Structure 1
């Protein structure tokens, strides 16, 4: 959703052109690390990143 705030690992806002959703590389999509929420994805297990390449 475009109105969601950016999480620390997000490269762009959700829905931005040239981006897509991926699993968080830090927690491998689990959403938590050591019994607490992952600081990179804030517990969602997902991040928004650029797709394609240049």
Structure 2
């Protein structure tokens, strides 16, 4: 078991693996992880964010 918690980035709505969430492409860098040659501050350079899924 891995005791190290995963960290959230500013663009995440919840911790990775939270029920009712899923990964999506970062809307700020469109998945590249970079903006103007620098690491995207929204996704931390991963190009992905965690957001709520579903609807209602």
Scaled by the length of structure 1, the TM-score of the pair is: 0.92
Q: CA RMSD in A?
A: 1.2
5+ long unaligned stretches in structure 2 = none
5+ long unaligned stretches in structure 1 = none
Question: How many residues get paired?
Answer: 53
**What residue number does 1:49 align with?**
51
Scaled by the length of structure 2, the TM-score of the pair is: 0.89
- Bigger-Rg structure (1/2): 2
Task: Write out the 4+ residue segments of structure 1 that deviate beyond 6 Å after TM superposition.
Answer: none
